[in-house]
Structure 1
Amino acid sequence: MPKTPRAGDGRLARTVRRWRDPVVVQILRSTVAATIAYVVALQLSDVTAPLTAPLTALLVVQVTLYATLTTGIRRVNSVVIGVLIAVGFSSLVGLSWWSLGLIILASLTVGQFVRVGEFVPEVAISAMLVLGVTEVGASAWDRVLETLIGAVVGLTFNFVLAPPVWVDTAGESIEDLARRLRRLLLRDAEQLVTPTPPRLAEQRLHEARQLDDDVADVDAVLRQAEDSLRLNPRVREGLLNRVVLRTGLDTLEICTVVVRVLSRTLADLSRVRAGAPLLPPEPGRALRETLSHVADALVSFAVLVTAQASSSATTAEERLNEQLAAAARSRDRAAGLLLDDVRDDPRGWQLQGALLTEVDRMLAELDLEHRTRRLMEELDRSTRERHERFPRWARLRALLPGGERPRV
């Protein structure tokens, strides 16, 4: 007999998701790394309160291993330079308003000439913090030692405890974007067969324009997922997974632009046919059916892109093929009906043709053959760029068992 879901199961699932949230994980990892750095510095340093070590570990440790490796060195440089500037100032002057301003000016200026990238402000931050706790110039080496301890702990922390892979989080964001697109497209479809005031059509257009912000949010989540796949020892097909997700988001972004253009076309059509349905009954119902199939295909496409299990991917692919075929059939029927209507009433024929063009663009983007071709092109391009950047590493990988597989 199947078990009845309990309320506690839902709370447990929500709790697990909350603890796996990137923000929560970052807080916990930074806290643990900073604490370990402080304990180690207490053992290796003569300073009573070696706060520079946990400060450095806090700045170095990142939510992904790739981010730690790529930004850790620059962070260490910024902290070390800030510490040295602060120690030098502390041996000459005390802490006052003018010395604080001078050290900030010096730190930001020096930060522009050293290789710290976007961490120039952290040079000044480190200098200010160290200036507040440094009393004599003789402690300079102690501060540098604390900085190195914190940097080593921060870098080692992600090697010993490999960060999680955020593919699931990115997949959920991509599917949520597809569902928002679906809802908007279904609302647009209803406008075709009912009288639509221009004000309502403009409101739908505004909602479509806001989807650009949603795409930017998903892109940020996907970038974090891509970083979590790079150089992660638990991931064997990192390049393939990155390309699958990235090309999937690119397709949805193009469809978002098309939906925005379609909403603009409907807004223009609502002004041409003020007080009447945007299309005659028969072509309106046919095109509404087409948009309904396209809306469902958007969600199936997102599920296909984010499916981890082969069975789930196969099911999503079959569903997507069925929905695209149904959309193509209803699109052809709508085109014939619109052509007959244009002969009788040529008002707004440019806008009606634009609707079909926008539908064709989405069908072309969601086509599986087009997606397969795009995947192959992106995989070839990424592999070629990696070989050009790291030729020795590529030759070494080719000698290893399974080295031909994209695993980075």
Structure 2
Amino acid sequence: MREVTKSVTAPVAELVRRRREPAVVQTVRSTAAATISYVVALQLSSEPAPLTAPLTALLVVQVTLYSTLTTGIRRVNSVVAGVLIAIGFSALVGLTWWSLGLIIVASLVVGRLVRVDEFVPEVAISAMLVLGVTQVGGAAWDRVLETLIGAVVGLMFNVVFVPPVWVGPAGDSIEDLARRMRRLLLRIGEELSGPTPVERAAARLHEARRLDNNIAEVDGALRQAEDSLRLNPRVKEGLLHRVVLRTGLDTLEICAVVLRVLARTMTDLAKKRGGQDVFPPTVGVALEELLSHVADALVSFSVLVTTQVSRSADAAESRLADELAAAAAAREKAAELLLEGVQRHPRDWQLHGALLTEIDRILDELDMDHRSQRLMEELDRVTREQHERYPWISAVRRWARGKRPRRAASR
């Protein structure tokens, strides 16, 4: 009996534990919205089983309010376009193989013209379903009504029960990316004090290249977080949060590219050494210390980017400043030792110089002054683009703040 109870409660406990994950939240919200839309459609539609309403609600309700609005509009447009096409064809021809082909072609073309994006096939589906029934007129408008019910219920569901803000998962993914880069830098540094086979250096290079996959995953989580901040009444400074996270990911992406080049430089050095020590022991220890500070600076930068509380942000900024200062001092020490080695053995000077250059590029991207300047430039660019694309939003904001539009001076 105890085992049966445990087997039943285990999935429920797992669901409760993962209740904050986007997939779980989306499942619960979509199920509730679809059920409500079906109940409403039963009262308003003449169809005995108005399944179009819950189907529309399933497609409309998204993880974020912004995506729900945009998806709902495109969904309604696609269904209305398909119904109108079916009504037009039903007035001219019946349902035959060639009329079916014509209506599919016409629906797909119209779907492209009305810009319903991923709902282009829905235009053709709506047209075929309506054309295939006996009473085209009544079924057509019932389908439109059910679609509107599903879209409105889905929209109102997300307005009343505002979706959560997915900044936390996006921040966790950014920090996870920084820690992956940190582990790679530490592994590279640990291998500098002894013999480094070419195969091991090449494995680090492949690991650096695989960071591109992690960046793509973080980008997906960040896009979801950006959508959750748009039009969300819970968020007061959504634009600032979006720009901070996006520029932070851009910086880590640049550092990942430089890290891949650094791993390639180490592979070339290992190949030239033929399995011997890549650097003398003193130089290897100095470079290991330098890469350790750079690795810690990457994590401190990610924490600074993803921290929203001012007190925690100040602490993260202080840690980043300390790590960058320690990295700069270690860089000067390593540069002196490398210069001495190059003077004795000048054949590898270009690779040693490339190694320092790549580290300098990472430190420059993590520099706080460079970060602040880039953040302000991105904020100005996004604000300017929004004003040019949606001038009426700026006018409404000025009106809400009690500022009247400027009038031309009377002559």
TM-score, normalised via structure 1 length: 0.89
Inter-partner Cα distance in structure 1 for 2:12 and 2:183: 29
Q: In 2, are the aligned partners of 1:84 and 1:144 still within 8 Å (CA)?
A: no
Distance 1:144 1:24, change over 3 A: same
Structure 1: state its 5+ residue gaps.
Answer: 1-10, 404-408
149-158 vs 220-229, greater mean Cα deviation = 149-158
Q: Which residue of 2 aligns with 1:274?
A: 274
Could you say what secondary structure the match of 2:196 adopts?
coil
Q: In 2, are the aligned partners of 1:248 and 1:302 still within 8 Å (CA)?
A: yes
CA RMSD, Structure 1 to Structure 2 (Å):
2.4
Q: Which residue of 2 aligns with 1:322?
A: 322
**What letter is aligned with 1:351?**
L
Distance 1:171 1:286, change over 3 A: same
Q: Which residue of 2 aligns with 1:173?
A: 173
Q: In 2, are the aligned partners of 1:182 and 1:298 still within 8 Å (CA)?
A: yes
Q: Which residue of 1 aligns with 2:218?
A: 218
Distance 1:17 1:375, change over 3 A: farther
Q: Which residue of 1 aligns with 2:337?
A: 337
Q: Which residue of 2 aligns with 1:5?
A: none
Q: In 2, are the aligned partners of 1:191 and 1:277 still within 8 Å (CA)?
A: no
Q: Deviations over 1:69-112 (max 9, x none)?
A: 22321121112223444566788656x98776665444323322
Inter-partner Cα distance in structure 2 for 1:75 and 1:235: 27
Q: Which residue of 2 aligns with 1:361?
A: 361
Inter-partner Cα distance in structure 2 for 1:294 and 1:228: 33
Could you say what secondary structure the match of 1:354 adopts?
helix
Inter-partner Cα distance in structure 2 for 1:131 and 1:30: 29
Q: Which residue of 2 aligns with 1:8?
A: none
Equivalenced residue count is: 391
Q: Which residue of 2 aligns with 1:71?
A: 71
16-25 vs 365-374, greater mean Cα deviation = 16-25
Q: In 1, are the aligned partners of 2:79 and 2:144 still within 8 Å (CA)?
A: no
Q: Is it true that 1:136 corresponds to 2:112 in the alignment? A: no
TM-score, normalised via structure 2 length: 0.88
**What letter is aligned with 1:239?**
L
Inter-partner Cα distance in structure 2 for 1:195 and 1:217: 35
Distance 1:213 1:391, change over 3 A: same
Q: In 2, are the aligned partners of 1:182 and 1:296 still within 8 Å (CA)?
A: yes
Q: Which residue of 1 aligns with 2:27?
A: 27
CA displacement at 1:113 relative to structure 2: 2.7
Could you say what secondary structure the match of 1:386 adopts?
helix
Distance 1:259 1:148, change over 3 A: same
Inter-partner Cα distance in structure 2 for 1:54 and 1:178: 42
Inter-partner Cα distance in structure 1 for 2:17 and 2:274: 49
Q: In 2, are the aligned partners of 1:56 and 1:79 still within 8 Å (CA)?
A: no
Distance 1:16 1:334, change over 3 A: farther
Q: Which residue of 1 aligns with 2:236?
A: 236
**What letter is aligned with 1:390?**
Y
- 1:380-395 correspondence runs (5 A): 380-395=380-395
Inter-partner Cα distance in structure 2 for 1:244 and 1:14: 33
Inter-partner Cα distance in structure 1 for 2:246 and 2:44: 46
Q: Is it true that 1:53 corresponds to 2:53 in the alignment? A: yes
Inter-partner Cα distance in structure 2 for 1:103 and 1:395: 43
Q: Deviations over 1:254-287 (max 9, x none)?
A: 1100100000101111111112121121111111
Could you say what secondary structure the match of 1:112 adopts?
helix
Q: In 2, are the aligned partners of 1:52 and 1:130 still within 8 Å (CA)?
A: no
CA displacement at 1:117 relative to structure 2: 2.7
Structure 2: state its 5+ residue gaps.
Answer: 1-10, 404-411
CA displacement at 1:402 relative to structure 2: 10
Q: In 2, are the aligned partners of 1:60 and 1:76 still within 8 Å (CA)?
A: no
CA displacement at 1:135 relative to structure 2: 4.1
- 1:149-164 correspondence runs (5 A): 149-164=149-164
Inter-partner Cα distance in structure 2 for 1:186 and 1:164: 36
